[in-house]
Amino acid sequence: MKSKLYFLSTVLAIFLINLVKDSIDPYYYTILIYIGINIILASSLNLINGFTGQFSLGHAGFMAIGGYLSISMSTYFAPFFANLFGAGVFGENMTFLTVMILGGLAAAAIGLLVGVPSLRLKGDYLAIVTLGFSEIIRVLIQGMDFIGASQGFRGVYQYSNGVKSLQMLDNTQDSFIFYGVPKYTNFFWTFFIAAFIVYFIYNLINSTYGKGFLAVKDDEVAAESMGINTTKFKVIAFVSGAFFAGVAGALYGHFNLYLNPEDFNFLKSVEIVAIVILGGMGSIPGVIIAAVILTILPELLRGISEYRMIVYALLLIIMMLTRPQGIFGTKFKFKRKKKVESA
Amino acid sequence: MSLLKINNVTMKFGGLTSIDALNAEVNDNELVGLIGPNGAGKTTVFNVITSVYKPTLGEVLFQDKSLKNYKTNQIAHLGICRTFQNIRLFKSLSVKDNVRVSFGVRLKAGFFSSVMQLNKFSKEEKEIDNRIDELLELFNLHDVKDEEAISLPYGDQRKVEIVRALATDPKLLLLDEPAAGMNPSEKSDLMKLIRDVKDKFRISILLIEHDMKVVMGICERIYVLEYGKKIAEGLPSEIQNNEKVIEAYLGDTKTHA
């Protein structure tokens, strides 16, 4: 009950901040949005890697599916959505919500397809399979002309004779409208979803049902003997993680207004894994803080841009050596430490 | 009435016969012991019953139902739960949460009502909390319920394993060397506890144990295995005087004399 109250007041605060978003400097605004998106990505990966103990390296792939599906829907079917929901602020947000959910569902469906066979694998093997999957997605997108292939996708020209093209055609006399990717992503949506996923995972992990995920991580044989269908729990974690990655992709696409397959390469997956590891596998607040730090850090280091990656890598190495359990460690140990201090 | 029936079960790993044509049964509300020297195949019997291994030949019947097509996690739903010889507690969870995991078996709340915290979910969680407290109270673990389970002393960890298995509400409890690593006074407490559990929850227990004092003290019937073969069965007093059993444990008296 208490967590519901926290969630609702956070949403209210996000809504209020959203009202003054235009007065935020665009540079800082961009960083803010990226922080939100990274919180979503890292938290959803945390459910798979941190809480359920399955090492997935394919999050960028799910993000790509959600991102590409949602931006192609909101451009190709822009007139359809405008008819359906109307053109005003309400219509825009409804359209966004719809394509976001569709993007998430598509990622979740693919997650199910990939997860059922590959979650039989453990550790490194699962990491390799998911990595391979995410590369397959990227290469497939590079071959899909209707979403821009390796050129990237920024919108579509719709001619009055029904022809749709990514480039402007010079041999036609018909009039056309260019549907660019609409800028739907704003502070509210990004942080509403970030708050929602935190609420979602917090509730799940603290429920009797959700303890099953942790049981699967700790000891599959014992979990299985206590009546937990370990395969089912792994698949649920994987699919819901994929769903939120897809939603994050939709947010990213509708903010950047341009997607390129290279945005979703191997390094993107590694970046998300780095946030989870830095924050602490299975620590909700740790991952949020790590998402903030690792989004801001590259910006702070712009001054020494040649050495940026060195500092970044050094930080990760130092972190591994000094606090292998993450910034906070797991929640359980955190709580215990507090008790000792007060005693 | 027999609750569990092991029907001519043979378990082979390649050329090694771990269990050889074993017949055994456990009746309702009965405490049965399973003993034998190291490597006799006792734990394998547990693994066959819980479907970790599929028997090469024969079948296991539980309440006259063949367990052939059940997976390990479904066995727990049917009402058979076990503890492990080498303790397998969930190491990132507290004592309380270790027990809580087992309530998943009868949980009505699913994924969505857990995430959305619907009213019926909160009510169920509260009931589960109370049940956990009751169980931990019974085993004298109430004071350490928020400790990390693996930080407890060895004997207490064994007890948490038993509580965790009991929490699935089994009809048959399989205890794999529950007294291992306990000192004599802990052992006698445990014996009393096992008997109490059997009477209070009206369940059957199949017990593997090396400590003869424990086995002879509480078991109503005993099966003895050696090299996968059943060499004796009967009342504790009969087993104590059985020549074959003495030979299995102490060696052949004639050749060594």
Report the pLDDT averaged over residues A298-327: 82
Across the interface, whether the CB atoms of B117 and A225 are under 8 A apart is answered no
pLDDT of residue B180: 84
Using the Cα atoms of residue B234, residue B237, residue B240 and residue B244 in order, give the sign of their dihedral.
Answer: negative
pLDDT at A194 over 80: yes
Strand pairing of A155-159 and A176-180? antiparallel
pLDDT band at A88 (very low <50, low <70, confident <90, very high): confident
Report the pLDDT averaged over residues A154-158: 89
Are the CB atoms for A215 and B90 separated by under 8 Å?
Answer: yes
Point out the residues of chain B with pLDDT beneath 50. Answer: 257
Q: Residue ranges of the domains in chain A?
A: 2-6+26-150+185-327
pLDDT, tens digit, 9 for 90 and up, residues A2-30: 788 899 999 999 999 999 988 999 999 99
Q: What percent of chain A clears pLDDT 90, i.e. is strictly above it?
A: 64
**Out of A160-164, A226-230, A291-295, which region has the weakest mean confidence (pLDDT)?**
A160-164
Token pair belonging to B68: 């052939």
Helix (H) / strand (E) containing B7: strand B2-13
Average pLDDT, chain A: 89
Residue B106: strand pairing partners: none
Strand pairing of B31-35 and B204-208? parallel
Q: Which one of A226, A243, A283, A328 would you mutate to disrupt binding with B, by most B Cβ within 10 Å of its Cβ?
A: A226
Whose tokens are 């696409």? That residue is A253
Across the interface, whether the CB atoms of B110 and A227 are under 8 A apart is answered no
Q: How far apart are CA A191 and CA A14, in angstroms?
A: 7
pLDDT at A265 over 50: yes
- Give B148's DSSP letter: B
For chain B, list the domains and their CATH numbers: 2-256 (3.40.50.300)
Across the interface, whether the CB atoms of A222 and B81 are under 8 A apart is answered no
Q: How far apart are CA A8 and CA A201, in angstroms?
A: 15
Q: Where are the beta strands (DSSP E) in A2-149?
A: none
Nearest to B90 among A3, A204, A214 (CB): A214
Q: At what angle do helices B119-138 and B154-166 cross, to 10 degrees?
A: 130
pLDDT band at A241 (very low <50, low <70, confident <90, very high): very high
Nearest CA in chain A to B147: A336
Q: Which one of A216, A225, A235, A325 would you mutate to disrupt binding with B, by most B Cβ within 10 Å of its Cβ?
A: A225
Residues 6+ apart with CB under 8 A from B195: B31, B218
Does residue A215 sit in helix, strand or coil?
helix
Nearest to A203 among B89, B100, B114 (CB): B114
Nearest to B122 among A1, A211, A223 (CB): A1
Whose tokens are 């006799």? That residue is B40
Residues of B in contact with A224 (CB under 8 A): 71-73
Residues of B in contact with A219 (CB under 8 A): 88-91
- Give A50's DSSP letter: I
Whose tokens are 């702070």? That residue is A300
Distance (Å) from the alpha carbon of B97 to chain A's nearest alpha carbon: 7
pLDDT band at A330 (very low <50, low <70, confident <90, very high): low
Residue A158: strand pairing partners: A164, A177
Say yes or no: A143 contacts chain B, CB-CB below 8 A: no
The CB-side HSE value for A106 (13 A sphere, CA atoms) comes to 25
Helix (H) / strand (E) containing B100: helix B95-102
Note which residues in 215-244 of chain A have CB less than 8 A from chain B. Answer: 215, 217-219, 221-230, 236
Are the CB atoms for B173 and B102 separated by under 8 Å?
Answer: no
Across the interface, whether the CB atoms of B97 and A218 are under 8 A apart is answered no
Nearest CA in chain A to B150: A218
pLDDT, tens digit, 9 for 90 and up, residues A220-235: 999 999 999 999 999 9
Helix (H) / strand (E) containing A292: helix A284-300
Across the interface, whether the CB atoms of A225 and B100 are under 8 A apart is answered no
Q: How far apart are CA A327 and CA A338, in angstroms?
A: 15
Among chain B, residues having any CB pair with chain A shorter than 8 Å are 50, 52, 71-77, 81-82, 84, 88-94, 97, 100-105, 107, 109-111, 114-117, 121-122, 124-125, 128, 148, 164-165, 168
Amino acid at B233: E
Report the pLDDT averaged over residues A188-203: 95
Whose tokens are 């009039």? That residue is A175
Nearest CA in chain B to A219: B90
Residues of B in contact with A333 (CB under 8 A): 148
Nearest CA in chain B to A209: B104
Q: How far apart are CA B34 and CA B54, in angstroms?
A: 20
Alpha-carbon distances, residue A336 vs A330, A341, B140, B149 (angstroms): 10, 9, 21, 13
Say yes or no: A120 contacts chain B, CB-CB below 8 A: no
Across the interface, whether the CB atoms of B73 and A212 are under 8 A apart is answered no
Say yes or no: A207 contacts chain B, CB-CB below 8 A: yes
CB burial of residue A74 (10 Å; 0-12, 13-18, 19+): buried
pLDDT, tens digit, 9 for 90 and up, residues B159-190: 999 999 999 999 999 999 998 888 888 888 88
CB burial of residue B250 (10 Å; 0-12, 13-18, 19+): exposed
- Give A148's DSSP letter: T
Using the Cα atoms of residue B133, residue B137, residue B140 and residue B143 in order, give the sign of their dihedral.
Answer: positive
Nearest to A204 among B77, B114, B124 (CB): B114
Are the CB atoms for A41 and A63 separated by under 8 Å?
Answer: yes
Across the interface, whether the CB atoms of A211 and B92 are under 8 A apart is answered no
Say yes or no: A200 contacts chain B, CB-CB below 8 A: yes
Alpha-carbon distances, residue B30 vs B26, B169, B204, B207 (angstroms): 7, 16, 5, 11
The CB-side HSE value for B230 (13 A sphere, CA atoms) comes to 18
pLDDT at A210 over 50: yes
pLDDT of residue A340: 43
Q: Around Cβ A339, how many Cβ atoms within 10 Å?
A: 9
Distance (Å) from the alpha carbon of A222 to chain B's nearest alpha carbon: 6
Q: Does domain A2-6+26-150+185-327 have CATH number 1.10.3470?
A: yes
For B133-169, b/e burial (b = at least 16 CB within 10 A) is eebbebbebeebbebbbbebeebbbbbbbbbbbbbbb
Nearest to B101 among A1, A228, A236 (CB): A228
Find, among B185, B173, B137, the residue nearest to B26 by Cα: B173
pLDDT of residue B255: 56
Q: Which one of A209, A328, A336 would you mutate to disrupt binding with B, by most B Cβ within 10 Å of its Cβ?
A: A209
Q: Go through chain A and tell me how many residues it has.
A: 343
**Residue A32 C-alpha from the chain's centroid:** 15
The CB-side HSE value for B87 (13 A sphere, CA atoms) comes to 24
pLDDT at A53 over 50: yes
What is the ipTM, given to two decimal places?
0.90
